[in-house]
């Protein structure tokens, strides 16, 4: 399981990095923090650690509810995505005046990332 977690974490980290690289100009336009964000070793390490936590949590949840295979993992990923990051991001729009396009940008990253996690872990089984 350790190898699966590491491989999945690397894949999700790379996809997320590609997301924000591709949407970097949009992110910079929508957010002062996005405009100021610069990769640094500690940020990359922290982001990779966050990704490992996501992968481990997803793997344990999938095991606990008896999900196996890519299709089941993708279904769980969609449920997790809608139930957690989307709800949190909607709260930031409602209560903190985060612009909807910025929340949507982050929600898109979460959707792609959790889908990659589901596909890699689901295929690993």
Q: Give the whole-angstrom CA distance, residue 66 versus residue 11.
A: 23
Per-residue pLDDT of 31-43, as tens digits, reads: 888 777 778 899 9
pLDDT confidence of residue 102 = 96
- The string of DSSP letters for 51-110 reads HHHHHHHHHHHHHHHT--HHHHHHHHHHHHHHHTHHHHHHHHHHHH---HHHHHHHHHHH
Instruction: Over range 73-97, report the average pLDDT.
Output: 97
Its pTM stands at 0.93
Per-residue pLDDT of 14-33, as tens digits, reads: 999 999 999 989 988 998 88
Percent of the chain past pLDDT 90, that is, above it, reads 84
Q: Give the SS3 label for residue 39.
A: coil
pLDDT confidence of residue 34 = 76
Domain that holds residue 58: 2-124
Instruction: Over range 95-112, report the average pLDDT.
Output: 97
The answer to whether the CB of 89 falls within 8 A of the CB of 39 is: no
Average of per-residue pLDDT values in the chain = 95
pLDDT confidence of residue 48 = 97
pLDDT confidence of residue 1 = 84
When divided into structural domains, the chain yields a total of 1
């Amino acid at each position: 399981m350790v190898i699966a977690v590491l491989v999945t974490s690397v894949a999700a980290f790379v996809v997320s990095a590609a997301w924000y690289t591709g949407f970097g100009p949009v992110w910079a336009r929508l957010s002062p923090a996005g405009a100021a964000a610069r990769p640094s070793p500690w940020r990359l390490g922290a982001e990779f650690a966050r990704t490992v936590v996501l992968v481990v949590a997803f793997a344990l949840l999938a095991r606990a509810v008896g999900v196996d295979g890519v299709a089941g993992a993708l279904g769980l990923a969609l449920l997790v995505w809608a139930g957690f990051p989307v709800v949190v991001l909607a709260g930031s729009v409602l209560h903190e005046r985060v612009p909807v396009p910025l929340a949507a940008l982050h929600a898109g990253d979460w959707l792609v990332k959790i889908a990659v996690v589901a596909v890699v872990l689901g295929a690993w089984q």
